[in-house]
Structures are given as structure tokens and as C-alpha cells.
Amino acid sequence: MAKSDSNLNRRDFIKMTGLAGMTSLAASVPLTAAETKAKESPSKDKMPLRDFGKSGVKVPILGLGGMFDITTNLIVLKKALDWGVTYWDTADCYNGGNSELGIGMFFEKFPDIRKKVFLVSKSDKTDPAGMTQLLERSLSRMKTSYIDLYFIHGLRNPDQLTPEMQAWVKKAKSAGKIKLFGFSTHSNMAGCLMGASKLGWVDGIMLAYNYRLMQEDSMKKAVEASHKAGIGLTAMKTQGGGSVRTDSDDELALAGKFMNKGFSPQQAKMKAVWQEPLISSICSQMPNVTLLSANVAAALDKTQLKTSDIQLLQHYAEKTCSHYCAGCRENCESALPEMPVIADIMRYMMYYRSYGNLELAREKYAEIPGEIRVTLAHQNWVKAEKACPRQVPIGLIVHEALKTLA
């Protein structure tokens, strides 16, 4: 973790987080007295900043993921600013557009705040005409003339980064409508990063990155190549599949060890990512102040994980690898080319199982083409399961999705 100018001590850290660290994946946990006080009196410590690639911009190491209805939750934006979380990430599709609309309501009420925020949004279109349409809509919704970093949403293959897209980026930058450009990616991440590192016109990438994925050689090489190319990297999905399970002595020991250090397993997972200096920021979905305060406390705390702590996380990752889909869709979907949505379904079920967001999971599941959805129940998943390096029980998860999300 990069050295920060935070003076938050262990006692303040524990006081600020209270029980929030233990429940940082729950969306509606009652506030403790300590958390209430933390909300009313934000810490005066400064959020650490890091360079975002070669852009010349510094960003806070913690970013606010806006995958929620911000129109009814503007207080989170205000508290994020109070605590130095000025990297705000959203997308044209988040919560049916209400995420961008909520940010626009905030900027309209507090226009001077706009210049303090590193604003990120995403396009679900990849053709120039579609990108122009969605960019203009995002600008209108958010009551701003420019977006600091504009992403293509969910890139699967670096071949999608076409010369036509490059020309569009140059034009949008010249018009002052975007400052930086890049993409987010949930699958084939190493391939996407390696491809982008060779282009010279990608400024930033948001990738799924956590204590599980950061140990893989292909990801290490891809992250290093992107960093050398001057690309700013933002980590998402840092929990690696959600809460630590507690159905074995090893897992209970993992949770207990980190709690004895003053932070939860969830916070420990974030600190493991922050200790990778090539990652500029972590984007975390924080739809309430309880989650925000817990994550801010973890970001401000100067304690680094020891080698033994990292090894403990690695051991846990190995023991629970079949619980986590790493998004390497080239394996399972090559085995079943007629089913090009396996990794997507695994991710949607993660939204439901790990994050408790049934609404989002159902919304994304409904986007799967109807002709594919009707065949899911009758598909034999053996080939895909054999091709999965993590031995994820794909068939069981798909059938659970049919019962839960359909």
C-alpha cells in the first residue's frame, strides 16, 4: 500500500468501523453508536491518492461505485466527498438510469462540486453512433459538460477496440466531452489488458481484481504490461465472491485473525489489493453510509498485511476456488460454443448470492437472448464443467439461476 499522510490510529480505526466491517456486504445493517458518530463527524485524515497511469491525474485509492438508485440516496455522495472519496463511477444503465440522474441532481444543487469529482461513466454501445448517443445522454443526465473517464462497458475481446473507436475517442476528446477513455472488463481480462497495452490510446481500465485473481500469472503479466503502457488501473469485484464462509475451522480462523487485527475479512481483502502499487484505485459499490464508513476506515488505516496474512488469503482462495467464477469464459464457452453466456450467468448469480442484489441479477439475466434462455434447462453442462480450471459446478448454478432469476 502506498504511504499515506493519514494519522488514523488503531483505536480510531476500530471506533470508526465498529461492526460495519463484519457486515460490509449487507445493505441494510443498523448503525452502531460509533458509526453514527463517524457519520456526523467525518475523519479529517486525507484519503491517499495515486497516479492514474500516465494521465497526470491523481485519484483517491477508494472510489464510489454507483450501481444503485442515487436519486433517493444523495447523502452517500455528500459523505463520500467529506471523506475524500471523489472518484465516482456510474454507467448509463445503472439502476435504469437513476444512478446518473442522481449524480446530476447533486451537481445541479452543488455546481461547484463538479470540478472536485473524478467522474466515470460507461457506454453499453461500441459503435461510434451508439457511443455518441449514450455519451450525450449521460452528459445531459449528470448535468455536466464533460466526463473525466469514459469506458466501454464490459469489453470481452481487445478486437472490439477498433480504429473507428479510436477515431471517435480522438473526436470526443477534442470536443472536450471526455478527458480519458478506456473500458471495463469482467471476462477474458488478461487478454483484454494485454491487447490494450499495445494500442497506445487506452487511458484507463477497470478490471475484476482481487486476492484470488492477483495470484494468477496471466493477470500479473497483464497488469504489469498495462502499467508500463501508462494505463490507469481500477480494481472492482475486490471481494472475490463475497463473504468469508464459516463452515470450516480454517475459515473461522481466517475471520478471527483479521478481526483481532482490527479489521474484517472484507477490509483485509481490500487491503490486499491496495498493497499492489500498480492498482490506482478500488471501485466499491457503497449504497449506504455504513459501507462507506467501513471502507474509508480501511483505506485510511496505515496497517499493511504481512506476508503470512497474504498467504492465509491465498490458502483460503485455493480451498474455495470452486465457489468463484474467475470470468475466464474462453474455457467453458469454448467447450460449449452454443452457450456464450455461461460467464455472464455466473456473474449474475454472484450479484445475488454474494451481494444480495436480486433486482440487479434479475435485470441482467433478462438481457440474455430469449432463444438462449429457453434452452438452458435442457443443456448438458458436463463439457463446460470439465473445462473449468476452478471446477465451478456450472450446471447447479445455472439451474439455481433458472429458479431464482427467471
pLDDT for res 24: 35
> Highest-confidence range of 24-28, 203-207, 241-245, by mean pLDDT?
203-207
pLDDT for res 247: 55
Between 249 and 328, whose confidence is greater? 328
- Say if residues 262 and 13 touch (Cβ distance below 8 Å): yes
Report phi then psi at 151, rounded to 5.
-110, 150
Rounded to an integer, the average pLDDT of 115-142 is 97
Task: List all residues 6 or more positions away from 268 whose beta carbon is below 8 Å from its beta carbon.
Answer: 258, 261, 305, 309, 313
- Say if residues 91 and 101 touch (Cβ distance below 8 Å): no
What is the distance between the alpha carbons of residues 107 and 325, in angstroms, rounded to a whole number? Answer: 37
> Highest-confidence range of 37-51, 144-158, 253-267, 327-341, by mean pLDDT?
144-158
Rounded to an integer, the average pLDDT of 331-354 is 89
DSSP at 152: E
Write the secondary structure of 154-211 as one string of H (helix), E (strand) and C (coil).
Answer: CCCCHHHCCHHHHHHHHHHHHCCCEEEEEEEECCCHHHHHHHHHCCCCCCEEEEECCC
What is the distance between the alpha carbons of residues 343 and 321, in angstroms, rounded to a whole number? Answer: 15
Taking Cα atoms as reference points, which of 113, 103, 19 lies closest to residue 64? 103
What is the distance between the alpha carbons of residues 141 and 96, in angstroms, rounded to a whole number? Answer: 12
pLDDT for res 32: 36
Label residue 308 by pLDDT band (50, 70, 90): confident
pLDDT for res 14: 38
3-state helix, strand, coil in the chain (%, to 5): 50, 10, 40
pLDDT tens digit string along 70-121? 988 899 999 999 999 999 999 999 988 999 999 999 999 999 999 999 999 9
Residue located via cell numbers 444503465: 93
Taking Cα atoms as reference points, which of 138, 122, 115 lies closest to residue 89? 122
Does residue 1 register a pLDDT over 50?
Answer: no
Label residue 36 by pLDDT band (50, 70, 90): very low
Does residue 2 register a pLDDT over 60?
Answer: no
pLDDT for res 27: 33
User: Bridge-partner residues for 75, per DSSP?
Assistant: none
Does residue 375 register a pLDDT over 90?
Answer: yes
Task: List all residues 6 or more positions away from 390 whose beta carbon is below 8 Å from its beta carbon.
Answer: 321, 322, 324, 325, 326
User: Bridge-partner residues for 55, per DSSP?
Assistant: none
pLDDT for res 209: 94
Rounded to an integer, the average pLDDT of 301-321 is 84
Interhelix angle 33-40/10-17, nearest 10 degrees: 100
Interhelix angle 98-109/74-82, nearest 10 degrees: 60
pLDDT tens digit string along 181-205? 999 998 899 999 999 999 999 999 9
Which segments of the chain belong to CATH 3.20.20.100? Answer: 10-315
10-315 CATH fold: TIM Barrel (3.20.20)
**Would you call 110 exposed, middle or buried from its count of C-beta atoms within 10 A (0-12, 13-18, 19+)?**
middle
- Say if residues 235 and 225 touch (Cβ distance below 8 Å): no
pLDDT for res 316: 81
Label residue 248 by pLDDT band (50, 70, 90): low
Tell me whether strands 49-51 and 58-60 are parallel, antiparallel or unpaired.
antiparallel
Label residue 23 by pLDDT band (50, 70, 90): very low
Cell of 303: 496497517
As a whole number, the mean pLDDT across the chain is 86
With pLDDT > 70 as the criterion, what percentage of the chain qualifies? Answer: 85
Does residue 404 register a pLDDT over 60?
Answer: yes
Label residue 372 by pLDDT band (50, 70, 90): very high
Which of helix, strand or coil describes residue 109? helix
Cell of 40: 456526523
- Say if residues 134 and 90 touch (Cβ distance below 8 Å): no
User: Bridge-partner residues for 51, per DSSP?
Assistant: 58
- Say if residues 165 and 196 touch (Cβ distance below 8 Å): no
pLDDT for res 13: 38
Rounded to an integer, the average pLDDT of 126-152 is 98
pTM to 2 decimals?
0.81
Between 323 and 156, whose confidence is greater? 156
